[in-house]
Structure formats: C-alpha cells, structure tokens
Chain A
C-alpha cells in the first residue's frame, strides 16, 4: 500500500506546473552552464578552465545544490500535504483502509524519491555534457558519495517544508514560509559569517553553522573538497565559504532539523481533525 501511495505522490507532484517549471529551469541551467563554458573561449577563461577540465562534471553536480534543488524540494514538499487539504482529496485516502501514518509516510517517501530522481537526472546531464564538451572526466569515483550527500542534505528543507505544509494546510503559504526560511537563513548566515570575519569572534560562525541552511547546503561542498583540484569549483559555488564546520556537523544538523520537522509533521497529522475542504 505504501508503494501505491509513493507512486501516487510522485505522479501528483509531476502533474503540477510549478514543479515542472522548476525542473525545466534547472535543466536549462544545467545544460546552459556547460554550453556557456564551452563557447566562451577567452585566454583568461582557457587558463582558468584548463586545469579543472577533467573535473568539470563537478560544476553540474554541485550547481543545483546551491539553491535550485532546495527550491524544487520545497515546491514538492510544501504542497505534499497542504494541497491534499486544499483540494479536499485527503478525505478520499483517509476514508480507505489507509492509516494516517501510512498516508503521511507514503507521501513523504514519494516526494523524496521524486526529488532524488530529479537530482539524478541533473547528474546524468552534468556527466553527459561535461564529457561531450570537455572530454574524458576524472575522479568519478567521488560521484556516488557526492550524490548521497546532496540527496541527504536536501532532507533538511524537504522536512521543514513538509512540516509547514502540514501545519498551515495552505500550499502557497507553506511555499512562501519555507522559501523564506531558506533564503532568510542563508542571508542571516552570510551576514553572521561576515561579522565573524570582521570581529574575529567565532561565536558568529557557530550561530551561522547552527542555522538550517548551513548543513543543508554545505555538506556536499565539504565532501567535494576532497577531490583534487576542486577548490576553485567548490569556492565558486559554495554559499558559506570559509566557515569552519565539518562534515559531521553538517550531518548532525541535517538529522536534527529533519527529525524535529518530521516529528512535528506526524504529530499534527496523527492528532488533528481533517476539516472539510478549505479552499
């Protein structure tokens, strides 16, 4: 039964124009960046790209992680529960032999699998275009670990948006709140990092690390830092360069934020009444 719900959720999300638009934008970015890099052939750019040409796959793999993937995640996840309430379709499922726990779990997994598949599509595009336009790519042995870190770190905002959607039960509001948390957290984090640099007080860095955006965005960059000659790409795409956090910190924060958000979501789903269609 969970399988049915997973497939249902994936189909439901893909049927939404907002999600499809975001995926298309990301694909255009993904392809566009390689086409742009291959077309702009100034001596300076040649000089810059030449040493990293064999690892240019990393650009396409890390690019969505900075922001776009999080927006796709929020778009899918914030509507997961809230749209069921808005459209009244939640009644259809919960008046079947489907427990609320199974319903929530199926939708959560369906949405998350879809996010993972979208990301894997981006990775395939990145590998294909980097190989086609810049020749044979190296250090692809890092790829599985990198994919895992990106998918894992997307859990933070996936869970937060799922929670907000369940709590407010209105899709536009849930998307707005979740996106504001993402953007707000990135902006505040960036300011705190700047203040830490100015004052030399590491406390600001600690606070910046504790915000949801740091763990959600930095883990893949920290992992990619282990790839030889990757520093240029990592620094160019990283949102919080130079913050002294570790991969363990990022993992703990991702687990922490995700767990809290999911616990709140399920407590709400399991204990609150389902009102008649809201919208």
Chain B
C-alpha cells in the first residue's frame, strides 16, 4: 500500500503499555488525524513510525516499505516534530540546503519553501536567534522540501500564528489534492474539523475510536441539529409529537435539538410536511464537545 500503514504496533515501557496493538492507515490524498489526550500514545506512535523508537512487535510500512530496513524511504517523507529542535548554529537556509542535499532535492526548492513559510528575509539568521514560531516555520519548510509523498506532523500548530496556520492549511489542502498521505497528531480541533478525513482516537495506548469527524461527533455527542425559524409555535408543535426528540434548547430564532438517533432526514421531512418555515437546518458538529465526551467515555471504559 502507498501511504502509511501501521499493523498491530505494540510498545511497553516496563509494565506501562504505551501502544497496545495499534493499527492505522493513512491513505494517499487523505488527511488522517491522531487524536487523544496527553499520554494516549500519539507521540510514541509517530516516533515508532519515524524509526526513533523500536516497537516491541507489529509492523510499520511507509510507501509500502519497512522504514527500519529501508531508510531511503524518508527521502519521500516530510516530518515536523512537536517543538522542533534544529541545530542552533546553522542558519535556516543552511539547514534547508543541508536537508536538500540529503534528500536529493534541487537547491532552488529551498527558496520556494522559504517563500511558502514567509522566511526568506530571515533565512540567513542563525536558528539560535529565531523565535519559537520562526523555528516552527523553518521546520515546516524543511518538511515540505521536495514535495514529499508522505507528510507526518506531530502538533504542527504549536507556536505558529494564524497567518501561518492559514498558509499551512492551504498547502495541506493542495498536497491532499495532489495525493500526498498526510498524518497529523494534533490537539487543534478546528484544524481537524477543516482538514481531517479520518480520525484515530487513542486512549492509554489503545485505539478507542476510528472514523470520520462526523462519525466521531455522532458517536460521542449524538445527533444535534440546529433549526433556524421565525415560526416558533409550528416548530414546537411538531417537536412535541416526535418521540425521538430528546432535548430542545432555544436561543432567539435558533433551536438546538438533540435527537435520540440519526433521524435527520425524517425530522426534516416532518418539518416540511407540517409547513414549518425553516430558514436554516444544519448538523451541530461541536468537535470540542465530542472530544470531551469521547475522553469521558474512554475513562469510564
């Protein structure tokens, strides 16, 4: 398989299981997100993938090859560390040129990625003199060097400003369209909502949930729809008759309605049949709340 594949990966530190048989796939043209609270095993998983940690058992495949045996595969992989640590005595440009030589990427690409992260003007300063955000920009530029087929990012938004986040998002969307496999471990749920195609939720080294963002919300938060209408009485009349309506919260012309199961289509049909004048109807996807609910459920489990 192209992209990234992790099969039954296990890693323990003494009696503590950091990874208890995790399997994962990050397919080309998709953004795969690893979610989970601190200590869930996200970083151990990514570091195992990047050959920094030797798993106790299981397999890792990047672009169909075992990266522990075929390190050359990393010429096609971009990696952003959480809080990147780069050689402080080098300048940003020197670092990128060094990386370009190792990856076999033409030197001209360096200027392109520097432009992308808006670091051309500061490229000749020593990394030791950079702010946290500037270091993060250089790390991103380094990861994007040579248009990698696989991009692995561990908390890429730490220390970055909104402008860079926007650029990064645009670049990721472009790479996704071009078929890059993108694997991100993050706590930035807004980014997950915008970019994530598949979510792996880890807890205590185990895979607790796998699915799309929508599925995550549905599973842990239930179905919540927002109806916008001026026709309050008609709407309330319909809601009273439907046994799958669990909860209604009213806020001006907005009604937040929790359904016992995914009966969105049926509910919408009822509103239309009863001639409720609906101005807006959409699914409420509060990923933050879903995430919190998932953590709660994982703790209980």
**Chain A contacts to B: CB under 8 angstroms:** 1, 4, 8, 11-12, 15, 87-89, 91-92, 94-99, 271, 273-274, 276-277
Contact = CB atoms under 8 A, between A and B. Distances in A.
B209 interface: no
B195 interface: no
Nearest to B52: A274
Given A4-B101, A95-B50, A274-B53, A89 B85 contact: yes
A107 B289 CA distance: 49
B51 A97 contact: no
Given A8-B87, A12-B89, A15-B89, A97 B101 contact: no
Q: Which 4 A-B pairs have the closest CB atoms?
A: A88-B85, A15-B89, A274-B52, A97-B74
Nearest to A92: B86
A271 B75 CA distance: 23
Contacts of A276: 43, 47, 82
21 contacts: A1-B102, A4-B101, A4-B102, A8-B87, A8-B98, A87-B88, A89-B87, A91-B81, A92-B84, A95-B52, A95-B77, A97-B75, A97-B103, A99-B71, A273-B52, A273-B53, A273-B54, A274-B47, A274-B52, A274-B53, A277-B83
Contact of B87 (A1, A92, A94, A96): A92
B71 A98 contact: yes
Contacts of B72: 97
A96 B86 contact: no
Nearest to B79: A95
Contact of A96 (B84, B90, B99): B99
B74 A95 contact: yes
A96 B89 contact: no
Contacts of A97: 71-75, 102-103
A4 B73 CA distance: 19
Nearest to A14: B89
A89 B52 CA distance: 12
A235 to B, nearest CB: 43
B102 A95 contact: no
Interface of B: 43, 47, 50-54, 71-75, 77, 79, 81-90, 98-99, 101-103
B75 A12 contact: no
Nearest to B54: A273
A277 B89 contact: no
Given A271-B54, A273-B54, A11 B71 contact: no
Nearest to B86: A92
B85 A92 contact: yes
B52 A96 contact: no
A277 B102 contact: no
A8 B99 CA distance: 12
